[in-house]
Chains A and B, each alone.
Chain A
Amino acid sequence: MNKIGVFVCHCGDNIAGTVDVERVAKEIAKYDGVAHSVDYTFMCSDPGQKMIKSAIQEKKLDGVIVASCSPTMHEGTFRKAAASAGLNPYQCEIANIREQCSWVHSDKEKGTQKAILIIKSMIEKLKMNEPLYPESMPTNKNVLVIGAGIAGIQAALDIAEAGHKVFLVEKKPYIGGHMIQLSVTFPTLDCSQCILTPKMVQIDQDENIELFVNSEVESIDGAVGNFKIKIKRTAQYINPDICTGCGDCVDTCPVLVPDEYEEGLSYRKAVYMSFPQVIPYTYTLDIDSCLGLDPIACGKCKEACKENAINYDLRDEIIEKTAGAVIIATGYDQYPMENIGEYGYGKYPDVVSGLQFERLIFAVGPSGGKMIRPSDGKPVKEIAFIQCAGSRDPERHLSHCSKICCMYTAKQAKMFKTKVPDGQAYIYYIDTRAAGKDYEEFLQKAQSDQRLIYIRGKVSRIYKEKDKMAISAYDTLSSKKIDAKVDMVVLALGLVPSPGTAELAHKYNLSVGTSGFLSEAHPKLRPVESVNLGFFLAGTCLGPKDIPETVAQASGAASKALALLAHDSVEKSPIIVQVDAEKCDGCGRCAEECIFDAITIDKIQNIAVIDEMKCKGCAYCIPECPHGAIEQKNLSDLQIYNMINAILTKDKKTETFEPKIICFLSEIGPYQAADLAGTGRMEYRPNAFIIKVLSISMLNENHILYALKHGADGVLISGSHPGESPYPGACLKAKERIDLIKSKVKNAGLDPNRIRLEWYAGRQAKGLATYVDNFVEYLKMTGPADSANWRSLN
């Protein structure tokens, strides 16, 4: 590439105020390979873009550098302009001289110098850029929805309505999730079943929806737009088409086990129907509690069935499907009462969970809607509700707020009062949080009720005293210790992700936050997407939330999936890795290490093959390759070295020592932080030069040491915080690698503190700016790095 055009933007005064743009354009014009170099007030404006287009055509440019704002702002704009003039869009690069230069420095001379170096290093990168073409594949139009609670139901219905086929997979024998267990919903107090069952029936009747209950997704292979799915369906032994629902089998079954739907408050048989409105409407034979599918063991149900609907010979089956997108709506579970010692480790029957209370007060629940206590069936006159049971207790239990407990406790207390008008309820709380439409009003009403006494204080202990449950608490408003004796205690247990969420996340490369819930691709701006393309998330698998929010999110996930499927083919960023066939010997190390299973080994030709649809470009595999056979497209080793060389060209002798720092910043996290430092005009020293990488996990020893061997005084490597990285596990591995390099450096008698690794999220602009300043300060004190010494390091 030797006909490069450079376009230096003034950005009004934003750049021109601190950088002598005319001088920059003139200096750059002299640089090797540059055929055209101009400056202009606003490059992004229409005349600016026209200027670029006509220069490409008239001067026959083969590459374009726009020296302007951050690529996150206008990279797309300029690449489009270049493409319309006939260049491949990847032959256009942005030199970020606003956020990384003019906005963070005030000395015009130093700013100008730095801008020139930034542009030169981008020119070096551009010189070796190859034209890239995004891969595309036809999209499969089906959608897989995992979990059939309210979130899964809503998402499935929305997608089916748009005309797509939906596979809805549910682990339990019925759909409706936790919502179908609830009595009424806050703040409107409308019956949960009444609003949910119509949707459940719709699921059953919609021709576009194929429902799999008693089923789990075994595997999802392939990539966005083209997933291959295996669903494992547990044998039900009862043919729903023949079953008339007479219930003769239930009467004869001799087994009794706690009923999961009733939260263990009553018993069911081994052959059972969870509740009369169950969808799909059929009996289930639970093989785990059944005495055995052998006429010798029992066989009573088969004998009793007049229609011969029971068939013991059925076996679990694997059903294979294909889909273009996956929506995960696996929901929540309650924090186990068994973990809370101060509340009796779940050993007192009269200390119940919030969900158990829902069943107890439900008109056709295990107590027939009577407010009686589980231990001896005596009526409940005095009741205590304990909020934050297990929540907001980082030392021992969950650190997060479970969000819905304040509201559902207020609801339950109100319902208790309706059932037992002369009863007395005590509600223990730390704070009440009622942010939601009409929520505060609802809560205020509950709090002003004479028979619902709100006590601000955490309960320290529950124990049995005679036939009452005794509660010790400290009232933080009156500063008194309060001892109460009640008939029943309801724990508003915290919410945790449903069991299996961690395995699911691990299997499908979804990231998980500190509290165990799945993480969004971006907590604010991409709330229903996961980091894995084609996987969408909805409902409480992301974190505690109420029904309206869950439904909104489910519809959001559905529309995001539909937007993806609206395209007949899926395109993918071509910035991925490539294998050098001459160097690769097919050892398979990269395939083992790839977090996205994107590499396979061609055993015949002994070479690693990259699945271009699966590869995310994190380039985690590069340092793993013992032969250096993998490179990232348009950021090869040579490109990195040339960029470093351009930055490190010796300037005129200055009187004082000015260290140079090469900063490798991950695109997500630290690079955003650097941009934000610019936007916030957080001035830092002009000694740091940024090289953007997709992920720092692509860096190997050579990349890092090259800089120090060629005149840099320090290297800063920064990725996003390990928990927030879009490439799960990659950051920690990068840390391991860098620690190794540092110890090697130390052993060689060199200063390991010249290599720094730090985590930065996009929001931590100030932190990054201060860190750079401190690093510069350190290097000034320590003096220049002796590159000759570093070069002796192998």
Chain B
Amino acid sequence: MYAFEYHRPTSVKEAAGLAGQAEDTKFLAGGHTLLPTMKLRLAGPANLIDLGQIAELRGIERSGDTITIGAMMKHAEVANSAEVKQAIPALAEMAELIGDPHVRNRGTIGGSVANNDPSADYPAACLALNATIITNQRKIAADDFFQGIFTTALQEGEIITQVSFKVPSQAAYTKFRNPASRYALVGVFVAKHADGVRVAVTGAGSNGVFRLPEMEKALSGNFAAEAIDGIAVATDEMNSDIHADAAYRAHLVGVMARRAVQAAAARG
């Protein structure tokens, strides 16, 4: 790991100020992507701004048809939150599928969303649950936030403070995990909202997380697995690697989507 200056602000304002003053900064959330990347010297920021002591980045709150989660809430905290389990059990279950218990004790929702790893779970939840990404500067709809692998709408020095999810009537997340990394080979998050169904796919796309409008339309008419039986998923924008080629991934998207619909429908 290259040397860096370490900063430990106690407010979002202070953190943003530090990012504005210092050159070549990175924000440190749970560190479970950034620190391994720095250890490999793929990243070497001159200044590391630790968000771990900022109380205003924590908390989980239900308000009407939204549940809002502080950016520094850890995966284990989301998975075990009574509010999340009650409002969106699929979201709690998704958080429980990230990494392993130790990773879930450190990794955060804000870090995952900001990083937009093409195989991460939270981006799919954000799209399917029509989330709003709240930063220290603005509110960004999830549909506008994720812009390709490891690329988001965040500007330099902008800090995610909260992620706000719409509570669906039914939802489920199914994940086919890479058995070694535990990242999604394919993960599909399906959510039924009052204004229609959303289907979001992670792990599969060469351009990161994406929605499947054809499946969404079919499921909005009939929320049942057979409604999407004949819908083929295009292979041209699928990842292809030693773990699964594009055709395999495209097929798996259909399988996982049907399983997610079944699981969501069974939830009643």
Do A and B assemble together? no
Chain A residues at the B interface, C-beta cutoff of 8 Å: none
Chain B residues at the A interface, C-beta cutoff of 8 Å: none
